[in-house]
Amino acid sequence: MVETENINTQAIWKILEDVYDPEVPVLSVIDLGIIRDVAVVNDELDVTITPTYTGCPAMDVISMNIRFALIQNGYKKVNINTILSPAWTTEWMTETGKAKLKAYGIAPPKTMHAVCTPETFQQEEAIQCPLCNSYHTKLISRFGSTACKALYQCEDCKEPFDYFKCH
């Protein structure tokens, strides 16, 4: 067991790099940007996470996997706290994470918030097809297989693909 007074929070961040999102298994919790803080408080390890979407069913599993990973590495007194504010945004996703998404076949979120207002039938900025790199793509549905994704189709290679939407 690792004595709490010797905890190096850098080492904790390193361990968390190997905890993956069960829904998008190429992304670690670090890539997603959902780890908000790692601290040692009163001899215990406090990990603060924030949900991507309010109703995301993966959050409970993610929280459990973080606990398991830390226990496996000898950290026994682990508290996982959830905070809602400030609300998670795709801007917190790492560049490495975005590259991994694209390689996995999911178009990564654009850097700028393009369409996060309620105005109807807005022109979406062109989303690049993660397979053939064409910008000639169209939105099929704003809601995809998970809360964080929208469904697109490439007009050139005709493949449908997921877009990790701006949030």
Partner 1 sequence: METNSKSPVSNSQFLIPNSLITYTLHLADNALILGHRDSEWCGHGPVLEQDIAITNISLDLIGQARNFYQYAAQLTGENATEDTLAYLRDAREFKNCLLAELPNGDWAVTVLRQFFFSAYQYLLYQQLQHSSDTQLAAIAEKALKEVTYHLRWSSEWVIRLGDGTSQSHQRILNAIEDLWMFTGELFKPADYEMEATSKGFGVNVETLKKDWLQNVKTVFEEATLPVPDENAWMQTGGKTGRHTEHLGFILADMQFLQRTYPGCEW
- In angstroms, what is the minimal distance from the CB of 125 to partner 1? 16
Please report whether residue 25 would count as binding partner 1 according to CB under 8 A.
Answer: no
Which of 14, 143, 155, 158 is the binder for partner 1 (CB under 8 A)? 143
Q: Could you tell me the smallest distance in angstroms from the CB atom of residue 83 to partner 1?
A: 7
Q: Please report whether residue 84 would count as binding partner 1 according to CB under 8 A.
A: yes
CB-nearer residue toward partner 1: 25 or 55 = 55
Q: Which two tokens stand for residue 3?
A: 């004595």
Residue range at the interface with partner 1 (CB under 8 A); choices 28-36, 68-76, 84-92, 123-131: 84-92
State the first-to-last Cα distance of the chain, in angstroms, to the nearest integer. 39
> Considering Cα of 50, then 52, then 56, then 61, what sign does the dihedral take?
negative
- Find how far residue 67's CA is from the centre of its chain: 18
Spacing of C-alpha 89 from chain mean position: 9
Positions 104 through 123 that interact with partner 1 (CB under 8 A): 116-122
Residues pairing with 153 in the sheet: 138, 160
CB nearer to partner 1: give 52 or 128: 52
Contact between 51 and partner 1 per CB under 8 A = yes
Q: From the CB of 86, what's the least distance to partner 1, in Å?
A: 8
CB of residue 92 to partner 1, shortest distance in Å: 13
Who's near 152: CB < 8 A, 6+ residues apart? Answer: 107, 127, 129, 137, 138, 139, 140, 160, 161, 162, 163
